[in-house]
Amino acid sequence: MTTTDTRPAGVTGDQAGPRSAARPGRPGSRLARARAGLHTLVFLAPMLVVFGVFSWLPIGRAIVMSFQRTNLVADPVFVGFANFQQVFADPLLWTAIQNTGYFALLALVFGYPIPLVAAILMSEVRKMRGLFSALAYLPVVVPPVVAVLLWRLFYDAGEDGVFNTILGWFGIAPVAWLQDADIVMPSLVLEATWAAAGGTVIIYLAALVGVDPSLYEAAEIDGAGVWRKLWHITLPQLRGVLLITFILQIIGTAQVFLEPFLFTDGGPANRTLTLLLLIYRYAFTNSLGGDYGAAAALSLMLALVLTAFSMLYFRLTRTWSS
């Protein structure tokens, strides 16, 4: 212990910081606070550096790049809002917005309730709940690219595709899952729901554990059935979690990329071209040498729209979640 240490004997480093910081005005407390702050800063530094270099710096760079014409090899040229104008003039932008909206809608209609229903059913199971939880979560730990490759086999358009084989048992003709313009988007949503539902199920299960059992007991005494308990106890108790998972789902689906990129490359005929895939195309499949300015401009616009939507959402739902 050094001579400047003012802590009473027996107080460890972990305890000393908050305790001395909680007693301002006492001798040495300012120094102790400064030390605690320094320690905090030093411990934070690696994360701040990593976060700054790999997260905030690229974000800042992307904002600057959205006003530049650059191929990242030659010197960039500032072009004002030309990149934004170019993006707005691209007819594929509206196609991508429609497709992304359609994906988000389908994911909301099918993907949002499924984890909730699964979690509620699983919470009612008394035996092997852990097994069911593990099975539900399993798709989340499968690497996404592997999952897509697996589902490509399921979606094979031939009679020997997995899903088409099953349809064949019932005398139903093969379906071109990834090649029929009307079916391709629901097909992507189905896989995406399968891949992501497990994580949400775990969140709901954790929240369900926190519901006070006495509420259900009281409801049963009052003669409430399963549906009334669900409607009047379970869902209201999960309200906060449901609101959070809703906005996370909207943000996630607005940025869908993996499925359209790996399953269809945006096809057939741009029917699965999403906003992120369009950004990717601007940046990486352009013989002008990468239109990074347009890609950054569209990325920035998407981020701004999602930020505005999130703020509006939280403002509107502030009273609901309390």
Partner 1 sequence: MLTSRTAKTAAALTALGVSALGLAACSDEPDDGKTHITVTIDAGLEQAAIDAFEARVAQFEDANPEIDVETQEYTWTAGTFTAQLAGGTLPDVFTIPFTDGRGLIERGQIADVSAYTDALPYRDAFNPNIAAAGEDADGNLWAVPIAAYGQGLHYNRTLFEAAGLDPDAPPTTWAEVQAAAKAISDATGEAGYSVMTNDNTGGWILTTVVNALGGRTEDGATATIDTPQMREALTQLQTMRWTDDSMGDTLQYDWATINQDFAAGRIGMYVSGGGNYGNLFTQNGLNPDDYGLTVLPLGTGPDAGVLGGGTLAAVSPNAEAEEQEAAVAWIDFYYMEKLTDQAAAVADAEVKAETGQPVGAPELPVFDQATYDEQQTWIAEYVNVPVEQMAPYTSQVFTQPLLTEPVTATQEVYATLDTVVQSILTDENADIDALLETAQTNAQAAMDAAA
* Chain contacts with partner 1 (rule: CB under 8 A): 1-2, 5, 12-13, 35, 39, 42-43, 45-46, 49-50, 53, 71-74, 86, 91, 156-159, 174, 176, 178-181, 264-265, 267-270, 280-281, 283-290, 292
C-beta closer to partner 1: residue 77 or 218: 77
Torsion of CA 199, 205, 211, 214, to 10 degrees: 170
Report the amino acid identity of residue 123: S
- In the complex, the smallest distance separating the C-beta of residue 267 from partner 1, rounded to whole angstroms, is 5
User: DSSP letter at 273?
Assistant: -
Least CB distance to partner 1 at residue 206 (A): 30
CB of 260 to partner 1, least distance (A): 12
Q: Give whichever of 252 and 290 is closer to partner 1, judged by the CB atom.
A: 290
Helices (H), the chain: 13-21, 29-51, 57-65, 82-89, 91-106, 113-124, 129-141, 144-154, 162-169, 184-209, 213-221, 226-229, 235-237, 239-254, 258-259, 275-284, 292-316, 318-321
CA distances from 264 to 65, 149, 257 (A): 29, 12, 11
Q: Which amino acid is at 1?
A: M
Specify the residue, 88 or 284, whose C-beta has the smaller distance to partner 1.
284
43 or 314: whose CB is closer to partner 1? 43
Of 103 and 177, which CB lies nearer to partner 1 in the complex structure?
177
Least Å distance, CB 74 to partner 1, is 6
Q: What angle do CA 144, 188, 273 make, to 5 degrees?
A: 100
Q: Which is nearer to partner 1, 68 or 270 (CB)?
A: 270
From the CB of 95, what's the least distance to partner 1, in Å?
10
Query: Could you tell me the smallest distance in angstroms from the CB atom of residue 161 to partner 1?
Result: 8
